[in-house]
Amino acid sequence: MTDPIGIDGSLLEGGGQILRIALTLSCIKKIPIRIYNIRAGRGKPGLMEQHLKGVELLRDICDAQVKGATIGSTEITFCPAEIRGGTYNAFIKTAGSISLLLQVALPCCIFAKSDVILKLRGGTNAEMAPQVDYMTEVFRPVLEKFGATFDFDLVRRGYFPKGGGEVIVTIQPVKELHGIKLLNQGKVMSIQGWSFVAGVIPAFIADKIAAGAKKTLSQVCRNVHIESYKEDKDIAPDNASGIILQATTDTGCILGASALGKRTENAEVTGERAGEILLKSVYEGACVDEHCQDQIIVFMALAVGPSSVRVGEITLHTKTAIFVVELLCKVEFNIEALEEGGNIIHCTGQ
């Protein structure tokens, strides 16, 4: 066995992203890796439970040999074998993000030997991570442009701090991904939204969140439809509120944004926050929003043929993703700064 490639987890973003992307590419490319200084940039360094569950999930999917996979560990060695089909479980006891589990596992499952079913438990709608609704309504349509997709079944929602959410994700593997070209945002034709409350929070709060978003988004689009609803108590028994937005343009671009309600914040302000995040992507001329920007880096690298995608400001998460991808894959990225603002991310592909 070749010596593992060493990756310093303290560089750039310095959190869990380096770990997730390195594990994903190790699994797909069958490259042994050693990640050290894991989450050194965080107040509590090392593997937390949600990160450990991601390591264990990929270990099972590709039958890897792993050393150092314990809570608090700042170094692991991961030596993958074949990516297998089948059913795999990952259960986070806290509200750790299900979406981040999906981020680490999904690219691997796309290249599995046969269909994969992921049963994931944890937080479905949490701060500092994409809401699961974002993954289905915004990220999935972008992924489909590369030639892959997934089926998604929401069993139960889980909110901070209890968690307890559960989803079932089914992935049918593909032989290859293909490069994409998204360079012209075009005109925003419609904006869809879903404003929700759960638990003891009254239904009218969802209406107020939606109203705040609509007021903000009227600047760029007249066709704004936001569905307000109170989650069924069997699906979401705990307290939470929030909104997910999806904008579609006449060139086929999908942009998204979201926000969760806060106890100290007026509900309309929650909607306004989400709307302003979406407006930022629109005004930058981006073809994917800032939260999708770093997620597509792995897929651009794995695709057959070149990709070019117009984005707004290059985020630190995107810089981190490019750093890890170029370290483990034989691809090159180039950032083209545009005179009118924004950037184009170019990737050579496989």
Residues designated as active site: 317
- SS3 of 139-164: HHHHHHHHCCCCEEEEEECCECCCEC
Token readout for 297 is: 């880096």
The rounded distance, in Å, linking the Cα atoms of 77 and 69 is 8
d(CA 179, CA 350): 9
Q: Which long-range contacts (CB under 8 A, 24 or more apart) does 337-343 make?
A: 338/285, 338/310, 340/285, 341/284, 341/285, 341/312, 342/284, 342/285, 342/286, 342/310, 342/311, 342/312, 342/313, 343/310, 343/311, 343/312, 343/313, 343/314
Q: Is 307:315 a contact under the CB 8 Å cutoff?
A: no
Q: How many angstroms separate the CA atoms of 151 and 249, rounded?
A: 24
Q: Which residues contact 137 (CB under 8 A, 6 or more apart)?
A: 192, 194, 244, 246, 256
Contact 165, 50 (CB under 8 A): no
Strand ranges, E, within 199-306: 224-230, 240-249, 254-260
Q: How far apart are CA 39 and CA 71, in angstroms?
A: 12
Tell me the two tokens of residue 25: 């590419």
Sequence-distant (6+) residues with CB within 8 A of 43 are: none
For residue 203 the two structure tokens come to: 């239904």
CA quadruple 120, 122, 127, 133: dihedral positive or negative? Answer: positive
